[in-house]
Structure 1
Amino acid sequence: MLIYLTEYLTQYVSGFAVFNYITMRAIMAILTALLISFFIGPAVIRWLIQLKVGQAVRLDGPQTHLVKHGTPTMGGVMILFSVAMAILLWGNLTNHYLLIVTLSMMGFGVIGFVDDYKKVVYKDPNGMRSRTKYFWQSLVGLVTAYSLFAFASLPAETQLLIPYMKDTFITLGAWSIVLSYFVIVGTSNAVNLTDGLDGLAIMPTVMISGALGVFAYLSGHVYFASYLNIPYLPGVGELTIFCAALAGAGLGFLWFNAHPAQVFMGDVGSLAIGAALGTVAVAVKQELVFFIMGGVFVAETLSVILQVGSFKLRKGKRIFLMAPLHHHFEQKGWHESQVIVRFWVVTIILVLIGLASLKLR
């Protein structure tokens, strides 16, 4: 909303013109989301404690996790609120990319909220039925994927860009809807699986969101896109504001989620931010680069798939000591903080490799 106010004030005070630049609004968005998270965090935690929405801990998991039983969950509402407010203040609300990504995040957030509510309020350990949960994820994912396809006006928006190779892409046409669906829903569930240790999921989210913001800004700038030989997508630069807001809200949440965590994000947070990251990756046409940068999320998901498959096909034999992957390393003797920080380091490396695709061809 403030973008419209600053545009009006520019005719009286030229200095307000600085707020018309995406870079300036991105800085303001990250600071706004960060400060809102800091401000509302203690109140949200107290509210969750009063509601007695404590996290249940797996009894078959690492014994060190038993002390976490009862820690308030559903803290993801803090992230969603902070992002939404930052976008309302600094985003261009007429931009279809920004609206689609924001609504996708909120849609998955509602699904996660219902799932969490069933678990912690109705004391149903299973929460929403898996089939029901997947149905609603698929519905929101398909609507998001189709919306991006429907608004596509350039051939590049329905192509799969091959990173590290010059002028190499696969034309998908309407099949881009299928790809987008799997990226969005898959990432949503991948972040959900990763969110098992204090700060494990949120810091990679911050780093990947920042990198996707770089891709969004460059792809939305005709000169930078031409120089770097990446698809020029008019209007996609506005997603820089979203990525900045998500990074700021994530850092604010990490303040309370760092070990030992005062609050967990719950499905309301993990499903929503996973879908948001996937949707941005699709919008900026960096699906494969996103696959690389989100390597930790990918590894966590594959560990669960392989573990379940091995257990069923090999008559109870397991590949990992425990899945998801972070629990495997805990069972091998790694301290929780070691697992978290090392996974962060891996993500930093993967994000840098992803950003290198801008020049390495």
Structure 2
Amino acid sequence: MLYHLFQYLDRSYDLPGAGMFQYISFRSALAVILALLITITFGQGIIRFMQRRQIGEEIRNLGLEGQLQKRGTPTMGGVMILLAVLVPVLLFGRLDNIYIQLMIVSTVWLGLLGFLDDYIKVFRHNKEGLKGKFKIVGQVGIGIIVGTVMCASPEVVVRDKVVEPVQQIFVDDDGEVIESVTTNRVVMGTESVKTTQTTIPFVKNNEFDYAWFTGGNRVATWILYVLVAIFVVTAVSNGANLTDGLDGLVSGVSAPIVVVLAILAYLSGHIVYADYLNIMYIPGSGELVVFAAAFAGALIGFLWYNSFPAQTFMGDTGSLAIGGIIAVFALCIRKELLLPILCGVFFVESLSVMMQVSYFKYTKRRYGEGRRIFLMSPIHHHYQKKGIFETKIVIRFWIVSMLLSLAALATLKIR
């Protein structure tokens, strides 16, 4: 909003300083500062409001140390995160950018989905919340929207790399030509194209087009890409949701993920850096840095109240949205195949639940009694059962997330 206002003031009245809003770095800095201020300044008021309305967490007794002490802690604090993301983006983002539009829609959609789940738990006193099938429907819905926009929108394009011949001429001291050698070099093309390409990590020529599976059939490629988008959004959203079990865990794990996505978006949206790093150039994707800055600021600001002992929980309002936003962001910059590394903590948390449930059902069927691989799942509860203190588990998971984020960033050069 302010971008468009100051652009007008700069062009029409040459207002001093108005040109600063043209720079992504400047608007990103403003976005992260405002997001932090919103969460820290208004967070206490939101928590008090939830306390007055008795919007508290229903805690099941799972035999975990310190668990029952959290009973009644205000939940639905994810509203703070959503506000701290949307307000800076609406103020400082380019609202005519297709990627910003897609991220705003995804944030609102997934936030409402999580809010509905929390509303049923808190106000309808139904511990199960929104039924799983309805959550899946919501996640499938945003997956269809994202996949269709990425395939159909004329604004979603990339620049292909092209091979051009380079002639090298060698001369002697007298200036006479000794040898002429023609070599090929890969450079960034000048024309933008519609494609369903994505990036494969650790591969030298690391672009892969989903159309390869369909033989270039447009409709079949769209269907395939939509299915991929649905799977990615659902998997990461549910992974973040399962990770939300300890004070400060999800927000602390997600922050380095978002920072790396911001770096990748900036590099992909800058033609010089994209050419130098030999990565896909995605026009307009640099604007996503503003969104990522607001998102990172919101997550860190939320930790002010969510760190141990938590004054508020994010609830599904926050956790479902956080995972879904990360997934959609990765799809926008065509780095969804990097998510198993980047979101490795979410992946392991989900895997631990699937392994536990599958093994329990298998052994119950075979031996008549269900057995478990872990003391409890998701895996962060397994470590709690082993007697490791909550804050130590959380900080170690943060460190793991930072290391995985660095590994994901290293894929720019390690191929």
Instruction: Establish whether TM, by shorter chain, passes 0.5.
Output: yes
2:206 and 2:263 map into 1 onto residues whose CA distance is 21
Q: Which residue of 2 aligns with 1:256?
A: 305
Secondary structure (helix, strand or coil) at the match of 1:128 reads: coil
**1:216 aligns to 2:270 (yes or no):** no
The corresponding residue for 1:247 is 296
**Are the counterparts in 1 of residues 75 and 315 from structure 2 also a CA contact under 8 Å?**
yes
- Name which of 43, 46, 63 aligns with 2:45: 43
2:375 aligned partner: 321
Segment of structure 1 superposing worse, 55-64 or 120-129: 55-64
Query: Which residue in the other structure is 1:93 paired with?
Result: 95
| Cα distance between partner residues in 1 of 2:75 and 2:36 | 20
- Structure with greater helix share of residues: 1
Preserved CA contact (<8 Å) 1:159 1:176: no
After TM superposition, what 4+ stretches of structure 1 lie above 3 angstroms from structure 2?
152-157
Give 3-state SS (helix, strand or coil) of 2:208's partner.
strand
Q: How far did residue 8 of structure 1 move?
A: 2.6
Question: 1:77-99 CA deviation, whole Å, 9 max, x = no partner?
Answer: 01101111000110000001111
Partner residue, 1:153: 157
Q: For residues 27-55 of structure 1, what are the alpha-carbon distances to aligned partners after superposition, in whole Å with 9 as ceiling and x for unaligned?
A: 11111111111111011101111221111
More strand by proportion, 1 or 2?
2
- Whether the 8 Å contact between 2:269 and 2:281 is mirrored in structure 1 is yes
* Cα deviation digits, residues 167-203 of structure 1 (max 9, x gap): 1333203222221211111111110100100000001
CA distance in 2, matches of 1:273, 1:352: 20
Bigger mean CA deviation after superposition, 68-77 or 158-167: 158-167
Aligned residue among 164, 168, 171 for 2:209? 171
**Separation in 2 of the partners of 1:63 and 1:55?**
17
Q: CA deviation at 1:14?
A: 4.3
Q: Alpha-carbon deviation of 1:10?
A: 2.5
Q: Does 1:351 align with 2:405?
A: yes
Matched, 1:189 2:264: no
Gaps of 5+ in 2: 159-192, 212-220, 365-369
Distance 1:157 1:77 in 2: 36
Asked if 2 retains the 8 angstrom alpha-carbon contact of 1:303 and 1:324, the reply is yes
Q: Using the alignment, how far apart are the partners of 1:251 and 1:320 within structure 2?
A: 31
Provide the C-alpha distance between the structure 2 equivalents of 1:257 and 1:246, rounded to a whole number of angstroms.
16
The residue identity in structure 2 corresponding to 1:77 is: V
Q: In the aligned structure 1, how far is the partner of 2:387 from the partner of 2:230?
A: 38
Tell me, yes or no, if the aligned pair for 1:29 and 1:86 is still in contact at 8 Å: yes
Structure 1 contact 100–148 (Cα < 8 Å) conserved: no
Q: Select 2:60's aligned residue among 58, 61, 68.
A: 58
Report 1:1-361 matches (<5 A): 1-11=1-11, 12-151=14-153, 152-154=156-158, 157-173=195-211, 174=221, 175-315=224-364, 316-361=370-415
Is the CA contact (8 Å cut-off) linking 1:34 and 1:248 kept in structure 2? yes
Q: Whole-Å Cα distance in 1 between the matches of residues 386 and 19 of structure 2?
A: 56
Query: Following the alignment from structure 1 to structure 2, what is the Cα–Cα distance between the partners of residues 197 and 328?
Result: 12
Residue type at the aligned position of 2:282: L
**Contact 1:220-1:234 at 8 Å conserved across structures:** yes
Q: Percent of pairs identical after alignment?
A: 43
- Does the Cα contact within 8 Å between 2:342 and 2:408 map onto a contact in 1? yes
TM-score normalized by structure 1? 0.97
Q: Deviations over 1:252-306 (max 9, x none)?
A: 1110000000000000111111110000011111112222011111000100111
Specify the structure having the higher radius of gyration (Cα): 2
Consecutive unaligned residues of structure 1, counting only runs of 5 or more, are none
**Helix, strand or coil at the partner of 1:55:** coil
How many pairs were matched up? 361
Residue type of the alignment partner of 1:310: Y
Contact residue 59 and residue 66 of structure 1 kept, 8 A:
yes
The alignment's TM-score, normalised by the length of structure 2, stands at 0.85
